[in-house]
Amino acid sequence: MRHCLNLIIEAHMFRRQTQAFGAIALILFVIGCATVLFTGRKQLSLLPASQVTELSSSGYQQILKESELSQDQNQIALVRRVGQRIAAASDQFLRENHMEADLKYYNWEFNVIEEDSTVNAFCMPGGKVAVYTGILPVTKTETGLAVVIGHEVAHALANHGNERLSQGLMQQLGGVALDVALANKPEQTRTLAMMAYGVGSTVGVMLPYSRTHESEADHIGLILMARAGYDPREAIPFWNRMNQVGGGRPPEFLSTHPAPERRIADIQKELPEALKYYKP
């Protein structure tokens, strides 16, 4: 009888603790709710844009300091030409939608990192872009490069960096709630429960959001490159080439990127919208 009573009391305390943390999470979500440009998706954005931009700028300069920058003037000119056209299209979109106040958070910078083994590029919040030389043979043309830079700039325009940081904060909050609820349990039970939470929240929440961000960046990137005067239809042959050099991949549910077949199919569906903006 006493054991049953203890279970009832523990269940009641657990419910109150989780309700309290749930209320905090709900308040944070409502306060930090924002809308992604172009797609209209609701996203979590808890951190001030100025703080995210400052952190990104510092991180970007550190990466450049630790990397070997390309000295090939043709590569540099190509990346900066494409980048500036994509950035101009991004800035123009903000002006057209009466979001001029957000322009102060974007200080566009484009650099080329000499690393032929890295088939990649990135754009940090605030518009700090780097293209690795390893991806240039895959882009092949200026338009192919526009696919890459459009995709990366889309991450910044869609505020994905802030969202990922905010999701991390919420994940930590959930972990704290679980740890408090299990405070009186044996150490082994707590350890197993926290491990299960970590795997569950990563596979169930963080990775799907990563795939959402990638798909969203594909969508927005098509529109940005089209508005910059690049043919968005070139995205399909580019991603086909990327798939050929991608090597082995984990199952989609354990990957931060959509499966190649799904990515191509989604891009094909989104091309008609992007082509509305395309003026050669």
> Rounded to whole angstroms, how far apart are CA atoms 55 and 141?
33
How many domains does the structure of the chain reveal?
Answer: 1
Which range of residues forms the domain containing residue 143?
42-162+209-275
Q: For the chain, list residues with pLDDT below 70.
A: 1-34, 36-37, 43, 45-46, 166-209, 246-257
Catalytic, 152? Answer yes
pLDDT of residue 102: 86
pLDDT of residue 238: 95
> Rounded to whole angstroms, how far apart are CA atoms 203 and 225?
32
Residue at 146 is within a domain: yes
* pLDDT tens digits, 31-83: 446 676 677 778 676 677 777 788 888 888 998 999 999 999 999 999 999 99
Contacts for 173 with CB less than 8 Å, ≥ 6 apart: 21, 24, 25, 28
Looking at 96, 114, 115, 152, which residue is catalytic?
A: 152
Residue at 204 is within a domain: no
Residue at 218 is within a domain: yes
pLDDT of residue 274: 96
Question: In this structure, what token pair is assigned to residue 236?
Answer: 């399909």
Residue at 27 is within a domain: no
Residue at 69 is within a domain: yes
The residues that bridge with 43 in the sheet, in sequence order, are 34
Residue at 251 is within a domain: yes
Residue at 265 is within a domain: yes
